[in-house]
Every structure is written in C-alpha cells, then in structure tokens.
Chain A
Amino acid sequence: AQKITQTQPGMFVQEKEAVTLDCTYDTSDQSYGLFWYKQPSSGEMIFLIYQGSYDEQNATEGRYSLNFQKARKSANLVISASQLGDSAMYFCAMREGYGNKLVFGAGTILRVKS
C-alpha cells in the first residue's frame, strides 16, 4: 500500500490566488514527520515546511502553510498569493518514527498562470 498519496497529478492556479495541494498518508506509527518539498525544473529539492505528528498547531512558513488533519491522515499544503516562480513539482514526504528514511509521494505539478 502506498504510504503517501498525492491525488493531483497537475494543478493550475491564477497568479496571486491561493492553492491547496493534497496529501494523504498511511502509517501505524504514533510519531512521524510530514514534509513538503518543491522541485523546480532545475531538479534541486527545496524544503518548504515540516509538521510533526505531535505538533498541535499547523505549521506555517511565509506563504506556505500545512493543513494537518491527523484523524483524516491528511497534510495538505496551502500556498497563498501564488507567484509565477511557484511553478514546479511539489512532493509530500513522510518520515516514520525516529528513523532516517523519507518516503515520497508521486508529486503534483503546479503551474501558475499570469
């Protein structure tokens, strides 16, 4: 079974609007971490935001926020005020327990239109 599911292969958003990228996860661990990374066409992986399973508040980093719904096992990324430079592939990832490994979802390609 897939541990990380990103159901949106691609998304379009108008510049300056907000967009939500979906991510659901599957784990039986009580302690885990959820990550979002951005990968532009250059290929580098850019860390955006982190949410720990015990964090009670949703994580925020500038224009990025993570809508963490633990009971639903979802960790959606919200990008506010989209910019053209936000066009990229976005990956949701999970680290289970206190281990090292990250498991990535299939990714969502976001295109911001002017």
Chain B
Amino acid sequence: GAVVSQHPSWVICKSGTSVKIECRSLDFQATTMFWYRQFPKQSLMLMATSNEGSKATYEQGVEKDKFLINHASLTLSTLTVTSAHPEDSSFYICSARDLARSYNEQFFGPGTRLTVL
C-alpha cells in the first residue's frame, strides 16, 4: 500500500519551545492530509485537515495558533506545536489519501510521540 512517513518518531522538548513534526507521502501525491492526536489508551481525535496550497481546516476546540499546519507540497505536511507545554504531550499521527489508488482508505504514518518536560 501507499507509504506515509513521519519525522521524528519521538521527541522530548522543554516547556515553551516549539516542535515541528513532518508528514510525508513517499510514493504518492496527497492533496489532503490529516493530523490526529491520541492520548494513552484513548482514541484518535482529528485535529485538522491539511490541504495543499491552502489553509488547514481545524476541528472545533483545536487552537490554530497553537498547532500550526503547513502543506506546502503534495508530499509534505508539517505540524508545529508552538510554545509546547506538558499538556501537549501526546501521540501525533498523520494520514493521507491517495485518490489514485483508493478513494476510501486513509494511509497512516507511524506516529510521533511528543513529551514536553
């Protein structure tokens, strides 16, 4: 199937710093990518839909100034957690759709575990 990568796979940072997470579609072009957040033993919650060349669409309750999303190319979307705090510690997962391969399936990245000290 289509491959989505994330970098880094884990990151530890100090409170107040910003962290950038990359999501790449390796063998397909993704006009739309999705960012999810998952707390331990909980479900995935959609944070935002990232559209190439336009502004991201954020879900209700997600601070757009806190979680900056950029989708500058058809293979790369980035999530920047600005001024991170311990409550931002979570597992962040991105996904993408390859409409040329499958209308239905979303291909997920391996996730990034963020720990804010």
Q: How far is the CB of B115 from chain A (nearest CB, A)?
A: 14
B: which residues have CB within 8 A of A? Answer: 1, 32, 34, 42-46, 49, 91, 93, 95, 97, 104-108, 110-111, 113
Chain B residues contacting A107 (CB-CB under 8 Å) are 42-43
**Contact present for A44 and B110 (CB under 8 Å):** yes
Q: Is the interface of B mostly helix, strand, loop or mixed?
A: strand
**Contact present for B43 and A43 (CB under 8 Å):** no
| 16 further contact pairs, Cβ within 8 A, besides A43-B111, A95-B104, A102-B95 | A43-B91, A43-B93, A43-B110, A44-B108, A45-B93, A45-B95, A45-B111, A47-B106, A91-B43, A100-B34, A100-B49, A102-B34, A102-B46, A102-B106, A104-B45, A105-B43
**Contact present for B46 and A44 (CB under 8 Å):** no
**Contact present for B104 and A33 (CB under 8 Å):** yes
Chain B residues contacting A42 (CB-CB under 8 Å) are 110
**Contact present for B110 and A100 (CB under 8 Å):** no
Chain A residues contacting B32 (CB-CB under 8 Å) are 100
